Amino acid sequence: QSGSYSLTVINQEGCSATDEVLFEIYTVPTIDLPPNPTLCPADSLLLSAACPGCTYAWNDGQTEAQRYAFASGSYAVTATNAEGCSASDTISLEALPQPEVALGPDAELCTGETLLLDGPTGPGYTYLWSTGATTRDITLNQSGQYTLSVTNAEGCTGTDAVEARYLPEITAEIIASATEACPGDTIALMGAEADWIEWIDTSKTLVPIMGPEALAAPNYTTTYGLIAANACSGDTAYYTIKVLPRRADAGPDTCIARGQSAELRASGAAAYYWLEEPFTLSAYDIPNPVASPDSSTWYRVAMEDSLGCRYVDSVFVEVINLEEVNIPLINVITPNGDGQNDRLVFPLLTKFSLYKLTVFNRWGETVYQSLNYQNDWEGRHKGKPLPAGAYFYVLKMGDRTLKSSLTIIRE
């Protein structure tokens, strides 16, 4: 036992010597793991090897006094106290079987249908449903999540859940952000909630085709359809967007000789704003400004009509150097009313404006004159037909002057 021990030694001469030693016996740590425990799957077991002032070494590398065991197998621990004394213990943990519960996939049901859910069978099995039922099977007739817990004779519990959803009767409906639109406007459409939605659009002005929301940009009055369905029912709805008539227009393209001007003729709007820069127009906020470009030019105009619709349109003014234009001169007309060669026509000049035509008889008298000839002279003077014979004309286009003889033939 622990204590102080001394020894005295005496020799023959009677001399003695004494020594003392202190002897202490340390206590070995005591650890006691539970003998051969059992464990249900997904459960855990707290193992404790606690002893005052000890350090710990488990066979899986953990170093805490307490740890959790989650699986079957061998668990061993060595505890060492401050004096260096150690003790070890080992247990074998057995995993118990657990009931396998499989209620199947989530279910979608139609009105009037029922769903039978049944649990597994096994010795000593007991059942508990989330509804409070304790039978092996139940019959569903309403939406909700249903959970079954099955416990076996060993006390282990298995659980599964299934979601049951009763699908509603579908009523298709289309809600639009507007009932009328200007050409090119975008209208938001929204359909009723359903598992499957497809839009009907023969105009190809709506995107996307699938899904509850779509954007329509019709150019004319258009009817869109919506098919809404689930696994139990379906319905179709239609909605018409009225597109207001387009009234505004930038006017016809025109052609001028270099150095000339042309009056643009936009129409149909309540307000105009010409957008071109550098500005070669006489005004920017009227429908008919005068354009004087040095080269061929596109003019864009922003317009708003009386209905509030806004448009941007363009008109082209072509500038031609008349000195470079080859203009065939006409020298015979036959104004007999048959629609063939009845008028003095210069085909290449139909797109020009502001050119002067003067026609003379053989005595030099003026029989016709126009400051803006429109290819419409039929060989008349003061409303009466001129006699057949020889004539002469002068065509002036800017600084260019063309002359030619002309014969009027009448049959």
For 339-368, write each residue's pLDDT tens digit. 899 999 987 666 665 578 999 999 999 999
206, 186: one domain? yes
219, 263: one domain? no
* Domain-embedded: residue 276: yes
Overall average pLDDT of the 378-391 stretch: 94
Enter the tokens of residue 185: 């406007």
The answer to whether residues 346 and 375 touch, using CB atoms and an 8 Å cutoff, is yes
* Domain-embedded: residue 249: no
Confidence of residue 50 (pLDDT cuts 50, 70, 90): confident
9, 90: one domain? yes
380, pLDDT greater than 60: yes
* Domain-embedded: residue 76: yes
150, 202: one domain? no
278, pLDDT greater than 70: no
Overall average pLDDT of the 265-275 stretch: 94
Residue 371 and residue 354: Cα distance in Å, rounded?
Answer: 6
Residue 63 and residue 265: Cα distance in Å, rounded?
Answer: 95
Q: What is the DSSP letter of 267?
A: B
123, 49: one domain? no
Q: What is the pLDDT of residue 352?
A: 63
Transcribe 311-354 into DSSP letters: EEEEEEEEEE-GGG---PPP-EE--SSSSSS-S---GGGTT--S
Confidence of residue 31 (pLDDT cuts 50, 70, 90): confident
All residues at 6 or more sequence positions from 380 whose CB lies less than 8 Å from its CB, including other chains: 335, 368, 386
Residue 60 and residue 64: Cα distance in Å, rounded?
Answer: 11
Overall average pLDDT of the 170-188 stretch: 92
Q: What is the pLDDT of residue 108?
A: 92
* Amino acid letter for position 286: I
- The better pLDDT of the pair 20, 56 is held by 56
Confidence of residue 20 (pLDDT cuts 50, 70, 90): confident
372, 335: one domain? yes
- From residue 154, alpha-carbon distances to 39, 96, 118, 150, 319 in Å are 10, 7, 21, 12, 101
Overall average pLDDT of the 143-147 stretch: 96
Residue 191: how many other CB atoms lie within 10 Å: 22
Enter the tokens of residue 279: 């500005």
236, 270: one domain? no
Overall average pLDDT of the 102-109 stretch: 94
The answer to whether residues 172 and 114 touch, using CB atoms and an 8 Å cutoff, is no
* Domain-embedded: residue 57: yes
| Domain stops at, among 133, 149, 166 | 166
* Domain-embedded: residue 38: yes
Overall average pLDDT of the 163-181 stretch: 92
85, 115: one domain? no
* Domain-embedded: residue 248: no
Q: Of the ranges 33-37, 118-122, 362-366, which one carries the lowest mean pLDDT score?
A: 33-37
Q: Which residue segment(s) compose the domain that 28 sits in?
A: 1-96
Q: Would the pTM count as exceeding 0.85?
A: no
Instruction: Of 264, 314, 320, give the one whose Cα is nearest residue 290.
Output: 264
130, pLDDT greater than 90: yes
271, pLDDT greater than 60: yes
- The better pLDDT of the pair 7, 369 is held by 369
* Domain-embedded: residue 149: yes
CATH value at residue 345 = 2.60.40.3080
Q: What is the pLDDT of residue 314?
A: 94
The answer to whether residues 199 and 214 touch, using CB atoms and an 8 Å cutoff, is yes
Q: What is the pLDDT of residue 331?
A: 94
Overall average pLDDT of the 261-288 stretch: 89
Q: What is the pLDDT of residue 320?
A: 82
Q: What are phi and psi of 349, to 5 degrees?
A: -100, 5
195, 118: one domain? no
Overall average pLDDT of the 273-297 stretch: 89
Residue 3: how many other CB atoms lie within 10 Å: 9
Q: What is the pLDDT of residue 198?
A: 95
Rounded CA Rg of the chain:
53
19, pLDDT greater than 70: yes
Residue 57 and residue 401: Cα distance in Å, rounded?
Answer: 117
Q: Of the ranges 134-143, 247-256, 296-305, which one carries the lowest mean pLDDT score?
A: 247-256
Residue 190 and residue 49: Cα distance in Å, rounded?
Answer: 67
136, 195: one domain? no
100, pLDDT greater than 80: yes
In the block, tokens 């899904």 appear at: 211
* Amino acid letter for position 391: Y
76, pLDDT greater than 60: yes
CATH value at residue 18 = 2.60.40
Q: What is the pLDDT of residue 16?
A: 86
The answer to whether residues 26 and 52 touch, using CB atoms and an 8 Å cutoff, is no
- From residue 195, alpha-carbon distances to 141, 170, 201, 268 in Å are 21, 10, 20, 47
Overall average pLDDT of the 176-194 stretch: 91
- Overall domain count for the chain: 5
344, 384: one domain? yes
1, 91: one domain? yes
CATH value at residue 295 = 2.60.40.10
Q: Give the up-direction half-sphere exposure of residue 256: CA atoms within 13 A in the CB hemisphere.
A: 18
Q: What is the pLDDT of residue 13?
A: 86
Q: What is the pLDDT of residue 102?
A: 95
Q: What is the pLDDT of residue 353?
A: 58
Confidence of residue 394 (pLDDT cuts 50, 70, 90): very high
| Domain stops at, among 166, 186, 215 | 166
The answer to whether residues 17 and 9 touch, using CB atoms and an 8 Å cutoff, is yes
* Domain-embedded: residue 101: no
Q: What is the pLDDT of residue 226?
A: 96
| Domain stops at, among 96, 123, 139 | 96
